[in-house]
C-alpha cells in the first residue's frame, strides 16, 4: 500500500463500489424474497412529489425564519451573546513545551510534558500531514470541509429534512468539523436553539481566524479518542504503540471513527473493537468514494490485519504525588472557568504550553506525611491478622496552614503511590464523619447563636428525638449510659450523643446545615434530619473538607476555601492565574476560642493522651492542641480532626470496601489518632510554644452545678467549677444572681432570758 499523496485519485466511484454498498453487502444473508423496486408508477410519482414538497417546506421555513422580523431578532440576540473563543495558547506555539510545578520553596516537584501524560499529547498538523488522518476525518465527519465557511447549509438542511422524515430525530447531524472544534474548545454541548446559533457564529468566526489546516489541527488534538485519551497522538501511542505520524491508512481510519462515540468504539473492549473495525471499513469506503485513496489502497487496507498494542498498567514516566495531581487539577478547573473553555482544552494547555505552576506545598511537612503513610506500624497493629482480609486498611490526611488557609501537605493513600491518577482518598472519598462532625454542626452553631456556653448545664438523659420513631430512645450514647446533668464542655469531651442531638434540635436542622455549608461542607440538598447531629449523612465528607472546616476554628472563625496553588505563569512569564481563595467570617473569635479550649480536653484526657497528648515544640514548649475523634456505629470509619495555632489537620482511617464492608479490627481502632499525633508532633517539633488566642471579652467565672454564680457555700459543697463565658452575655453568671440552692444557713435563734420577758397583757 502506498503512502504517497500523489497516487491518490480524485475520480468519483460508482455507487455499487461505495462504502455504504460494501457495508450493506456485508450484512446481507440469504436471497431476496422480492424485488426492492417492485412499486407502481403511481407510488413512484407520489414519492417524487413528496420529496419536492419536503424541500419546498424547508425552504419556506428557512426564509420565514431568516427574514422574518421575529426570526431575525432571535438570531441577532443569540449572536450578540456568543462568547469569543480562546485559542491563542494553542496556535502560537510550534511545539509542545514542558510545564513545571513548584513547591512553596521554589523546588520543582513535577514536570508536565505530553510524553509523560499519555492521555493527551499535542501534535502539530505538519507532523501528520503525510498520513491519511486528515482525509479519514474529513471523509467521515465533513466531506465539504474545504468548501464551507464554518457551517454547511446543505448538511443542515439535510439534517432538518431527516428530522422531519423521522418524527423529529435526524438520522445524522449537521455539525461540521469546525462546529465540533468549537464545542471541544468551549465545552458547551447543550441541545438548544440558542446554543446552536451561537455555535454557528463561533464556527464562522473561527474560520475567519484560522486556516483550515489549523482548525483540523485543533480538532485532531481535542477530539476524545476513548478511555480518557484525547487527541490522535494519544490514541496512536496507546492503541498502536507508535506516533501519529507513523500511522497506516487503516489505523488512521480506525482512529478517525472513534470520536463519534468513544465508548461504543472503544478498541480496548472486545465489543468496542468490533464496532471500531466495522466503522473503519465504512470510513475506508467513504475515502475511496471521495477519491482520497485508490481502489488498490482501499483493498489493501481492508485486507490488512490491525495489530493493537497491549495496554500498559502505567505508561507515565513520572509518578506524581497526590498533592501534585490535585494542584494540577485545580489549575485546570480554574483555567477552564476563567477563560470559558472546556476542561479538556485547559488540560491540553497545562500539559503542553510551558506553564510555571507555583503551589502551596510545604516540602518538610509533606515529607513527614510521606514517611508516616509508608509506616506499617501506624496502619496495621497485627499484619498477620489481616492476611485473609480482601483488602488492607487505608487512610488519608490533609494538613492546612492556619495563617493562610493553604494546603501544606496531603496524602491520599497508604503505601507507595505506583500509578498516576489513582484514587485520592483525601479529596475523592466521601466517608461518614461520626462524632467528628459535632463541633461543626452542633456545638459551634449553638455557641455562636448564644444558646450555650462551655459551662452551661445540659441533662444527659434518655431522649426521644427521632420523629419517625417517637417511642424509641434515640440517640443512645456510645457507652449506652447516661451521666445526668453535665456541662457542655464535658458533653463535648465525652462525646455524648444525647447532648449533641439536643443542641441540634434547639438550633434547628436547617440552621445547623447552613453553618455546615459556611465551613465548606454543603449538604443542604439532603434536607435536615436528626441523625446528622451525630454524623449520619447520606453523603459523607472528604478529608480535605474536614481539615478546611476545622481550620475555621483554628483561624479565629474565618473560613478560607482550601487552595493548592498560588500563581501560574505562561512560557513568556505572563501571569495567567492567581489564586484568590474565598474568605469570610463564620464564627466569632469567642466561639473559636471556646471550641479550641474545650477540644483541648479531648487531647489531654481522651485517646489522644495515650499517644502524646498536647504537642510540644522546640525546647519542650507546649503548643495548644485541640481535636475530636469520629467513629461510625459499625466501626467502618475512624477519624481524628484537630488543630494547633499553626496547623489544622484531618485524618481518615478505614477500608475502601470495594468488595465488602470491612469492620476495623479492635487493635486498629485508634490508628486515626495515632497517625494524626505522629505527624503533627513531627511537624511542630521545631516551632515555639503557642496558645490559642483568647479575646479580652472572654472571662473565667466560678459557677455552681446549679448554673448560677458560685457562692462560698457552693465551694464548700464541692459543686463549684470555673469556666469561660463572654462578658455581658445573659449566660454569664454574676454576683448579682448567686446560687439559690446553696445559701448560708440561717443563724441559730438566741436563747430567751425569763427575767427579760415583758407581760404584755393578761388579767
The residues assigned a catalytic role are 141, 435
Nearby residues of 674 by Cβ (< 8 Å), 6 or more positions away: 378, 611
Contact (CB, 8 A) for 684 and 644: yes
Kindly report the number of other CB atoms within 10 A of residue 560's CB atom.
21
For the chain, the C-alpha Rg in angstroms (whole number) is 36
DSSP string for 107-121:
-EEEEE-TTT-TTB-
Listed in sequence order, the residues at least 6 apart from 276 whose beta carbon sits closer than 8 Å to its beta carbon are 254, 257, 258, 265, 266, 267
Helix H or strand E encompassing 698: strand 698-704
523, 505 Cβ separation under 8 angstroms: no
Helical segments of 573-617, H only:
589-605
Residues with Cβ within 8 Å of 80's Cβ and at least 6 positions away in sequence, in order, are none
677 is written with which cell numbers?
Answer: 499525633
Q: How does DSSP assign 427-469, residue by residue? A: HH--B--GGGGHIIIIIHHHHHTTS--TT-EEEE---B--TTS
CA distance 689 to 104: 24
| Residue 756 CB contacts under 8 Å (≥ 6 apart), including other chains | none
Cell of 310: 497491549
d(CA 280, CA 265): 10
**Residue tagged 491563542 (cell numbers):** 88
CA–CA distances in Å: residue 457 to residues 146, 319, 566, 727: 81, 54, 46, 18
Amino acid at each position: 500500500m502506498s503512502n504517497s499523496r500523489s497516487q491518490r485519485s480524485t475520480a468519483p466511484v460508482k455507487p455499487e463500489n461505495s462504502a455504504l454498498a460494501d457495508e450493506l453487502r456485508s450484512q446481507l444473508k440469504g436471497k431476496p424474497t422480492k424485488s426492492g423496486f417492485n412499486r407502481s408508477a403511481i407510488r413512484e410519482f407520489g414519492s417524487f412529489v413528496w420529496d419536492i414538497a419536503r424541500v419546498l417546506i424547508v425552504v419556506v421555513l428557512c426564509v420565514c425564519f431568516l427574514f422574518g422580523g421575529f426570526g431575525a431578532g432571535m438570531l441577532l440576540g443569540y449572536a450578540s451573546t456568543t462568547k469569543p473563543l480562546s485559542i491563542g495558547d494553542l496556535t502560537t506555539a510550534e511545539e509542545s513545551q514542558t510545564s513545571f510545578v513548584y513547591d512553596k520553596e521554589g523546588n520543582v516537584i513535577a514536570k508536565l510534558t505530553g510524553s509523560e501524560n499519555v492521555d493527551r499529547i499535542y501534535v502539530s498538523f505538519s507532523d501528520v500531514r503525510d498520513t491519511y488522518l486528515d482525509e479519514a476525518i474529513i471523509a467521515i465527519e465533513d466531506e465539504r470541509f474545504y468548501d464551507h465557511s464554518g457551517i454547511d447549509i446543505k448538511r443542515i438542511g439535510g439534517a432538518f429534512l431527516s428530522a422531519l422524515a423521522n418524527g423529529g430525530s435526524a438520522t445524522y447531524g449537521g455539525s461540521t468539523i469546525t462546529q465540533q472544534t468549537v464545542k471541544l474548545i468551549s465545552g458547551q454541548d447543550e441541545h438548544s436553539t440558542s446554543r446552536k446559533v451561537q455555535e454557528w457564529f463561533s464556527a464562522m468566526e473561527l474560520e475567519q481566524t484560522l486556516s483550515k489546516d489549523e482548525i483540523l489541527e485543533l480538532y485532531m488534538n481535542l477530539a476524545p479518542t476513548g478511555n480518557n485519551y484525547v487527541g490522535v497522538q494519544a490514541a496512536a501511542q496507546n492503541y498502536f504503540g507508535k506516533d501519529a505520524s507513523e500511522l497506516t491508512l487503516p489505523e488512521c481510519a480506525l482512529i478517525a471513527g472513534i470520536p463519534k462515540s468513544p465508548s461504543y468504539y472503544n478498541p480496548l473492549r472486545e465489543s468496542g473493537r468490533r464496532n471500531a473495525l466495522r466503522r473503519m471499513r465504512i470510513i475506508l469506503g467513504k475515502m475511496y468514494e471521495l477519491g482520497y485513496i485508490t481502489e488498490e489502497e482501499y483493498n489493501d487496507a481492508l485486507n490488512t490485519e490491525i495489530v493493537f498494542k497491549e495496554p500498559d498498567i502505567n505508561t507515565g514516566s513520572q509518578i506524581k504525588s497526590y498533592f501534585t495531581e490535585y494542584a494540577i487539577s485545580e489549575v485546570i478547573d480554574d483555567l477552564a472557568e476563567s477563560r470559558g473553555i472546556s476542561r479538556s482544552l485547559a488540560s491540553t494547555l497545562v500539559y503542553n504550553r510551558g506553564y510555571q505552576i507555583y503551589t502551596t506545598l510545604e516540602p518538610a511537612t509533606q515529607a513527614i506525611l510521606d514517611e508516616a503513610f509508608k509506616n506499617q506500624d501506624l496502619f496495621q497493629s497485627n499484619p498477620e491478622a489481616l492476611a485473609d482480609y480482601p483488602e488492607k486498611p487505608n487512610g488519608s490526611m490533609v494538613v492546612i496552614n492556619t495563617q493562610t488557609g493553604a494546603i501544606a501537605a496531603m496524602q491520599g493513600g497508604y503505601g507507595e503511590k505506583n500509578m498516576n491518577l489513582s484514587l485520592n482518598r483525601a479529596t475523592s472519598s466521601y466517608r461518614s464523619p461520626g462524632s467528628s462532625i459535632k463541633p461543626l454542626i452542633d456545638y459551634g452553631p449553638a455557641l455562636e447563636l448564644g444558646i450555650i456556653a462551655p459551662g452551661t448545664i445540659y441533662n444527659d438523659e434518655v431522649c426521644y428525638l427521632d420523629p419517625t420513631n417517637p417511642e424509641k430512645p434515640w440517640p443512645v450514647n456510645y457507652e449506652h449510659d447516661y451521666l445526668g446533668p453535665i456541662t457542655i464542655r464535658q458533653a463535648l469531651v465525652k462525646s455524648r450523643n444525647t447532648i449533641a442531638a439536643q443542641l441540634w434540635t434547639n438550633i434547628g436542622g436547617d440552621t445547623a446545615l447552613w453553618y455546615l455549608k459556611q465551613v465548606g461542607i454543603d449538604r443542604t440538598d439532603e434536607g435536615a434530619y436528626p441523625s446528622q447531629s451525630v454524623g449520619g449523612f447520606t453523603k459523607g465528607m472528604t478529608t480535605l473538607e474536614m481539615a478546611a472546616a476545622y481550620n475555621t476554628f483554628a483561624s479565629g472563625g474565618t473560613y478560607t476555601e482550601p487552595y493548592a496553588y498560588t500563581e501560574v505563569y505562561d512560557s513568556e512569564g505572563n501571569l495567567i492565574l492567581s489564586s484568590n481563595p474565598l474568605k469570610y467570617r463564620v464564627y466569632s473569635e469567642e466561639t473559636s476560642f471556646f471550641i479550641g479550649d474545650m477540644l483541648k480536653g479531648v487531647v489531654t484526657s481522651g485517646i489522644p493522651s495515650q499517644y502524646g497528648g498536647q504537642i510540644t515544640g522546640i525546647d519542650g514548649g507546649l503548643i495548644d492542641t485541640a481535636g475530636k475523634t469520629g467513629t461510625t456505629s459499625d466501626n467502618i470509619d475512624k477519624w481524628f480532626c484537630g488543630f494547633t495555632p499553626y496547623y489544622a489537620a484531618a485524618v481518615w482511617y478505614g477500608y475502601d470496601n470495594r468488595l465488602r464492608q470491612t469492620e476495623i479490627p479492635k487493635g486498629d481502632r485508634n490508628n486515626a489518632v495515632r497517625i494524626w499525633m505522629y505527624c503533627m508532633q513531627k511537624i511542630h517539633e521545631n516551632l515555639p510554644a503557642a496558645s490559642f488566642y483568647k479575646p479580652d471579652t472572654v472571662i473565667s467565672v466560678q459557677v455552681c452545678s446549679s448554673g448560677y454564680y458560685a457562692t462560698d457555700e457552693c465551694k464548700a459543697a464541692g459543686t463549684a467549677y470555673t469556666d469561660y463565658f463572654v462578658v455581658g452575655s445573659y449566660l454569664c453568671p454574676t454576683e448579682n444572681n448567686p446560687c439559690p440552692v446553696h445559701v448560708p444557713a440561717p443563724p441559730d435563734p438566741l436563747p430567751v432570758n425569763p427575767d427579760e420577758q415583758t407581760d404584755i397583757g393578761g388579767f
